[in-house]
Chains A and B, each alone.
Chain A
Amino acid sequence: QKEVEQNSGPLSVPEGAIASLNCTYSDRVSQSFFWYRQYSGKSPELIMSIYSNGDKEDGRFTAQLNKASQYVSLLIRDSQPSDSATYLCAVNGGITGTYKYIFGTGTRLKVLA
């Protein structure tokens, strides 16, 4: 079983719609969760971190965490073509070490104009 699992996509949404990106993780004691955006040929850029169950909003982005279900998601409201990128989920603080990020393979998002 993969430690951090994401659907590779592509996930295609029309401009202005809500994009929903999902991530599941296997280490039950994981404590912190991160979403990164990576444009083709570029490095990952931190979008949000979330540490507690529930929702966390930042502009058009909302991260949702459910530790009981070992599930974290990212919602992008009013999606724009410039949001087209690969979104990486990262999990930290599990039994493998408090500083060791485990990344998923990413979900490719395509926002259609």
Chain B
Amino acid sequence: ETGVTQTPRHLVMGMTNKKSLKCEQHLGHNAMYWYKQSAKKPLELMFVYNFKEQTENNSVPSRFSPECPNSSHLFLHLHTLQPEDSALYLCASSEKLAEYNEQFFGPGTRLTVL
């Protein structure tokens, strides 16, 4: 167990639904990340938060809306998703934003959009 938890672990939603993914880290880290992992593609960075402030939005469509109320919690709000958004969504954390920092991943949420 890496100290990063994610809920739910599996989610099936229709294109008109609204749902949220939750991430919590128990490592005392200050930076948190959302990644998307699709089959046959490298991990794609979506958002970066540092001390609960967003520092990176990697050209993510607005149907994905992140929220970081504090350094330990990160949410990804989903609405009007498309079938191509089906993927594994991974949360990660690191002690700080720096070159020499190790990121630790949560177990992920497997999302299926019907």
Contacts and interface: CB of A to CB of B under 8 A. Distances in A.
Interface of A: 4, 31-32, 34, 36, 42-46, 49, 51, 88, 90, 92-93, 97-106
Given A99-B56, A99-B99, 12 more contacts: A32-B100, A43-B108, A44-B90, A44-B105, A46-B103, A46-B105, A49-B102, A90-B43, A90-B103, A99-B50, A101-B45, A106-B42
Contacts, number: 64
Interface residues of B, number: 26
A31 B99 contact: yes
Describe B's contact surface by its main secondary structure: loop
B105 A43 contact: yes
A101 B34 CA distance: 12
A97 B98 contact: no
